[in-house]
Structure 1
Amino acid sequence: LGFRSYGRIDGFYLNDGRILITDPNSASGMAPSSFFFEQAACAGMLPTMIIGRLIENALVIHSEKNGPL
Protein backbone atom coordinates (compact mmCIF):
# COMPACT_ATOMS: atom_id res chain seq x y z
CA LEU A 1 0.00 0.00 0.00
CA GLY A 2 3.01 2.29 0.16
CA PHE A 3 2.71 3.24 3.84
CA ARG A 4 6.02 4.64 5.04
CA SER A 5 5.17 6.00 8.45
CA TYR A 6 1.93 5.83 10.37
CA GLY A 7 -1.07 3.70 9.58
CA ARG A 8 -3.54 1.37 11.21
CA ILE A 9 -4.38 -2.03 9.80
CA ASP A 10 -7.57 -3.71 11.00
CA GLY A 11 -8.03 -7.41 10.63
CA PHE A 12 -8.81 -10.75 12.18
CA TYR A 13 -6.69 -13.64 13.37
CA LEU A 14 -8.47 -16.74 12.08
CA ASN A 15 -8.73 -20.11 13.82
CA ASP A 16 -6.53 -21.72 11.16
CA GLY A 17 -3.69 -19.25 11.91
CA ARG A 18 -4.22 -16.96 8.94
CA ILE A 19 -4.56 -13.19 9.28
CA LEU A 20 -7.33 -11.51 7.30
CA ILE A 21 -6.66 -7.81 6.66
CA THR A 22 -9.95 -5.96 6.27
CA ASP A 23 -9.32 -2.23 6.56
CA PRO A 24 -5.99 -0.44 6.05
CA ASN A 25 -6.16 3.18 7.25
CA SER A 26 -3.53 5.78 6.43
CA ALA A 27 -4.89 8.09 9.14
CA SER A 28 -6.55 6.72 12.24
CA GLY A 29 -8.44 8.69 14.87
CA MET A 30 -6.34 10.92 17.08
CA ALA A 31 -8.80 11.99 19.74
CA PRO A 32 -7.28 12.20 23.24
CA SER A 33 -9.15 9.01 24.14
CA SER A 34 -8.07 7.05 21.05
CA PHE A 35 -6.44 3.65 21.29
CA PHE A 36 -3.47 5.09 19.39
CA PHE A 37 -2.42 7.19 22.39
CA GLU A 38 -2.98 4.26 24.77
CA GLN A 39 -0.58 2.19 22.66
CA ALA A 40 1.96 5.03 22.63
CA ALA A 41 1.71 5.29 26.43
CA CYS A 42 2.43 1.55 26.72
CA ALA A 43 5.63 2.24 24.78
CA GLY A 44 6.51 5.06 27.21
CA MET A 45 5.57 7.90 24.86
CA LEU A 46 3.52 10.98 25.71
CA PRO A 47 1.05 12.23 23.08
CA THR A 48 3.37 15.16 22.26
CA MET A 49 6.25 12.75 21.74
CA ILE A 50 4.41 10.50 19.29
CA ILE A 51 3.00 13.46 17.34
CA GLY A 52 6.50 14.96 17.16
CA ARG A 53 7.84 11.64 15.84
CA LEU A 54 5.11 11.52 13.18
CA ILE A 55 5.97 15.06 12.07
CA GLU A 56 9.69 14.25 11.92
CA ASN A 57 8.98 11.14 9.83
CA ALA A 58 6.69 13.10 7.50
CA LEU A 59 9.39 15.73 6.92
CA VAL A 60 11.95 13.05 6.05
CA ILE A 61 9.54 11.29 3.69
CA HIS A 62 8.59 14.58 2.04
CA SER A 63 12.25 15.56 1.56
CA GLU A 64 12.83 12.28 -0.32
CA LYS A 65 9.94 12.85 -2.76
CA ASN A 66 10.32 13.96 -6.33
CA GLY A 67 7.46 16.02 -7.67
CA PRO A 68 4.40 17.59 -6.11
CA LEU A 69 2.99 16.83 -2.68
Structure 2
Amino acid sequence: MDHDYSLASVENPPKRKRSRSTEASRLWDKRRNKTRISIGVVFSRWRELRDKLGLDRDSALTYVLIDR
Protein backbone atom coordinates (compact mmCIF):
# COMPACT_ATOMS: atom_id res chain seq x y z
CA MET A 1 0.00 0.00 0.00
CA ASP A 2 1.19 3.43 -0.84
CA HIS A 3 0.40 6.26 1.53
CA ASP A 4 0.68 9.94 0.85
CA TYR A 5 2.73 11.34 3.72
CA SER A 6 3.40 14.67 2.06
CA LEU A 7 3.85 17.75 4.19
CA ALA A 8 0.59 19.21 2.84
CA SER A 9 -1.45 16.26 4.12
CA VAL A 10 0.12 16.55 7.58
CA GLU A 11 -0.37 20.31 7.85
CA ASN A 12 -3.93 20.27 6.51
CA PRO A 13 -5.57 17.02 7.54
CA PRO A 14 -9.00 16.38 6.05
CA LYS A 15 -11.91 17.55 8.19
CA ARG A 16 -13.64 14.74 9.97
CA LYS A 17 -17.36 14.35 10.21
CA ARG A 18 -18.85 14.59 13.68
CA SER A 19 -18.77 11.28 15.38
CA ARG A 20 -21.96 9.66 16.50
CA SER A 21 -20.90 10.16 20.08
CA THR A 22 -20.86 13.94 19.51
CA GLU A 23 -24.31 13.80 17.92
CA ALA A 24 -25.58 11.56 20.71
CA SER A 25 -24.12 13.95 23.26
CA ARG A 26 -25.91 16.89 21.68
CA LEU A 27 -29.21 14.99 21.72
CA TRP A 28 -28.67 14.03 25.35
CA ASP A 29 -27.89 17.66 26.26
CA LYS A 30 -31.05 18.83 24.49
CA ARG A 31 -33.18 16.35 26.42
CA ARG A 32 -31.46 17.19 29.72
CA ASN A 33 -32.00 20.92 29.24
CA LYS A 34 -35.76 20.33 29.12
CA THR A 35 -35.66 19.05 32.71
CA ARG A 36 -33.46 21.76 34.19
CA ILE A 37 -34.81 24.44 36.45
CA SER A 38 -33.39 27.83 37.31
CA ILE A 39 -33.29 28.73 40.98
CA GLY A 40 -31.68 32.08 40.24
CA VAL A 41 -31.13 34.29 43.26
CA VAL A 42 -31.63 31.47 45.79
CA PHE A 43 -28.72 29.46 44.42
CA SER A 44 -26.46 30.52 47.30
CA ARG A 45 -29.13 29.41 49.80
CA TRP A 46 -29.40 26.07 47.97
CA ARG A 47 -25.67 25.46 48.30
CA GLU A 48 -25.69 26.60 51.93
CA LEU A 49 -28.45 24.11 52.77
CA ARG A 50 -26.73 21.33 50.84
CA ASP A 51 -23.49 21.93 52.75
CA LYS A 52 -25.30 22.27 56.11
CA LEU A 53 -26.91 18.86 55.60
CA GLY A 54 -23.55 17.37 54.65
CA LEU A 55 -24.65 16.37 51.16
CA ASP A 56 -22.14 16.21 48.33
CA ARG A 57 -24.50 16.42 45.35
CA ASP A 58 -27.38 18.63 44.34
CA SER A 59 -29.37 15.54 43.42
CA ALA A 60 -29.12 14.31 47.02
CA LEU A 61 -30.64 17.57 48.23
CA THR A 62 -33.52 17.23 45.77
CA TYR A 63 -34.36 13.82 47.24
CA VAL A 64 -34.32 15.23 50.78
CA LEU A 65 -36.57 18.12 49.83
CA ILE A 66 -39.03 16.03 47.85
CA ASP A 67 -39.32 13.47 50.63
CA ARG A 68 -40.18 16.20 53.13
Relative contact order, CA 8 A, sep 6+: which one is greater? 1
Structure ID, larger Rg:
2
Of Structure 1 and Structure 2, which has the larger fraction of its residues in strand?
1
Fold in common (TM above 0.5): no
Of Structure 1 and Structure 2, which has the larger fraction of its residues in helix?
2
TM (norm. structure 2) is 0.29
TM (norm. structure 1) is 0.28
